[in-house]
C-alpha cells in the first residue's frame, strides 16, 4: 500500500516536471513512456521485495509454518471409525486405568461423573469402590465444622488440584487442560491426541531453542509443550493381560478420552442407523407416490384439430 502511494507520487512529480518544459511537442509520448518505465520498476522492486521477505520468512520456524500450527497428525484406523462402529469398551476400560495411574497426576476430568461409567467400562460395584476412594465435602456437623465423606456415584471425578492457580503453581506456570472434552477441543481429535502422546523425539531437532521447562513435540502448535513424555512401555499393568506398550496405552487413553468427550457416541450411531433407514424408506415411498399420482398427467396426449375452412 505504501509502495503504491509512493510510486504514484513519484510518477506524478515526474510528469509535472516534463509537462512544464518539454510539453511543447504536444503529443506527450515521452512522458507516458517514462511513466511506464517507473511503473515497471516500481512493480519489479515491490514484487522482488515481497518475494524476498516471504522467502526469508520460510527460513525461520515462525509464522504460517507447520512448526507454528503443529504437524498434521496421520489418520489412524480407530476401531470406532465409521458410521456403524461402536467404541471398543475394553479399550475404554484400559484407558481409564491409564488416565487414573498416569494422566490424573496433573489433568482433571471435571465434566465426567462416576455414574456415567457404570455399564460402559465398569460395573456398578467397581465404580462405587473407585468413587469411595476419594473424599468430597460433606455438610458441616452441628458445631459447623466442615466434614468429609467418601465419594458416591452421583459425584464428579475429582481433579488433582483445587483450582487453576494451584495447577499453574505446580507446573511452572503451565496449566494442564481439563481432559473432559479435549478430543473434541483439538484439531485432529483422537489422531492428534495419540500423535502428541507418541510424538516426543529423543532430542529436539537442530536449531530449535526451547523455553526453560518445555519439551519439543512437533505435533504441538509452536513445538514447545510444557508436558514431558509420560508414556513408557510397561508403565501400567493391564488386568486383561494386554501388553502395556506405550502405543497401546496411548491408544487406550485416547479412546477413553474420546468416550469422555462423546459419551453418547454408541447410542448416536445406533439412532443414526434407524433414522437413515426410516428416512430413506419414506423417501423412496414418496418418490413412488409422486410417480403414481403424476403418471396420468404426464402421459396425457393433447390433440389439436384445427378447424378446417370450407
106 annotated to a ligand binding site: yes
**Cα distances (angstroms) measured from residue 227 to each of 83, 169, 183, 215, 303:** 34, 14, 17, 7, 83
Query: Count of residues binding other proteins (CB under 8 A)?
Result: 31
Q: Is 155 in the site for other proteins (CB under 8 A)?
A: no
Q: Is 22 in the site for other proteins (CB under 8 A)?
A: no
Q: Is 85 in the site for other proteins (CB under 8 A)?
A: yes
Task: Using CB under 8 A, pick the residue from 19, 86, 247, 286 that binds other proteins.
Answer: 86
Q: Is 183 in the site for other proteins (CB under 8 A)?
A: no
DSSP string of 35-94, one letter each residue: HHHHHHHHHHHHHHHHHHHHHHHHHSS-TTSHHHH-PPPPPP--TT-STTPPP-HHHHHH
Residue with smaller CB distance to other proteins, 11 or 121: 121
Residue 274 CB, nearest approach to other proteins (Å): 6
Q: Is 239 in the site for other proteins (CB under 8 A)?
A: yes
Using an 8 Å Cβ cutoff, are 262 and 82 in contact?
Answer: no
Residue with smaller CB distance to other proteins, 16 or 123: 123
Task: Using CB under 8 A, pick the residue from 120, 130, 132, 236 that binds other proteins.
Answer: 120
Task: Using CB under 8 A, pick the residue from 277, 282, 285, 289 that binds other proteins.
Answer: 277
Give the whole-angstrom CA distance, residue 205 versus residue 202.
9
Q: Is 88 in the site for other proteins (CB under 8 A)?
A: yes
Residue with smaller CB distance to other proteins, 26 or 241: 241
Q: Is 93 in the site for other proteins (CB under 8 A)?
A: yes
Give the whole-angstrom CA distance, residue 21 versus residue 34.
15
Which residues, other chains included, contact 138 with Cβ-Cβ below 8 Å and sequence gap of 6+? 146, 147, 148, 149
Angle among Cα 78, 82, 83 to the nearest 5 degrees reads 145
Binding segment for other proteins (CB under 8 A), chosen from 2-10, 19-27, 123-131, 174-182, is 123-131
Residue with smaller CB distance to other proteins, 90 or 104: 90
**Residue 147: enclosing H or E segment and its boundaries?**
strand 147-150
Give the whole-angstrom CA distance, residue 181 versus residue 44.
51
227 annotated to a ligand binding site: yes
Give the whole-angstrom CA distance, residue 276 versus residue 84.
12
Binding segment for other proteins (CB under 8 A), chosen from 26-34, 136-144, 269-277, 297-305, is 269-277
Residue 235 CB, nearest approach to other proteins (Å): 18
Residue with smaller CB distance to other proteins, 23 or 84: 84
260 annotated to a ligand binding site: no
Which cell numbers hold the place of 286? Answer: 414418496
Burial of 95 per CB tally in 10 Å (0-12, 13-18, 19+): buried
> What is the contact surface with other proteins in residues (CB under 8 A)?
79-80, 84-90, 93, 115-116, 118-121, 123-125, 127, 153, 238-242, 266, 270, 273-274, 277
Where is the binding site for heme c, in residues?
103, 106-107, 227
Amino acid at each position: 500500500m505504501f509502495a503504491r502511494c509512493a510510486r504514484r507520487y513519484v510518477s506524478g512529480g515526474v510528469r509535472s516536471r516534463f509537462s512544464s518544459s518539454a510539453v511543447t511537442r504536444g503529443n506527450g509520448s515521452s512522458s507516458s513512456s517514462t511513466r511506464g518505465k517507473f511503473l515497471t520498476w516500481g512493480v519489479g522492486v515491490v514484487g522482488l521485495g515481497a518475494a524476498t521477505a516471504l522467502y526469508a520468512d520460510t527460513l525461520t520456524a515462525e509464522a504460517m509454518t507447520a512448526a507454528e500450527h503443529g504437524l498434521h497428525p496421520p489418520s489412524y484406523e480407530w476401531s470406532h471409525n465409521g458410521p456403524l462402529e461402536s467404541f471398543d469398551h475394553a479399550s475404554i476400560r484400559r484407558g481409564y486405568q491409564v488416565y487414573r495411574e498416569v494422566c490424573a497426576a496433573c489433568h482433571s476430568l471435571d465434566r465426567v461423573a462416576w455414574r456415567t461409567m457404570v455399564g460402559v467400562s465398569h460395573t456398578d460395584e467397581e465404580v462405587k469402590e473407585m468413587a469411595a476412594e476419594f473424599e468430597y465435602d460433606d455438610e458441616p456437623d452441628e458445631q459447623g465444622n466442615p466434614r468429609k465423606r467418601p465419594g458416591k456415584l452421583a459425584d464428579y471425578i475429582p481433579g488433582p488440584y483445587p483450582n487453576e492457580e494451584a495447577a499453574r503453581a505446580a507446573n511452572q506456570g503451565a496449566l494442564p487442560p481439563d481432559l473432559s472434552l479435549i478430543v473434541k477441543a483439538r484439531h485432529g481429535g483422537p489422531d492428534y491426541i495419540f500423535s502428541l502422546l507418541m510424538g516426543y523425539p529423543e532430542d529436539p531437532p537442530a536449531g530449535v531453542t526451547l523455553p526453560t521447562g518445555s519439551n519439543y513435540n512437533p505435533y504441538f502448535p509452536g513445538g514447545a509443550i510444557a508436558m514431558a513424555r509420560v508414556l513408557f512401555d510397561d508403565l501400567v499393568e493391564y488386568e486383561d493381560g494386554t501388553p502395556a506398550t506405550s502405543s497401546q496405552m496411548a491408544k487406550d487413553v485416547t479412546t477413553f478420552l474420546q468416550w469422555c468427550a462423546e459419551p453418547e457416541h454408541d447410542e448416536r450411531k445406533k439412532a443414526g442407523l434407524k433414522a437413515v433407514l426410516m428416512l430413506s424408506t419414506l423417501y423412496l415411498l414418496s418418490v413412488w407416490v409422486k410417480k403414481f399420482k403424476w403418471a396420468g398427467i404426464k402421459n396425457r396426449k393433447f390433440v389439436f384439430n384445427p378447424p378446417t375452412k370450407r
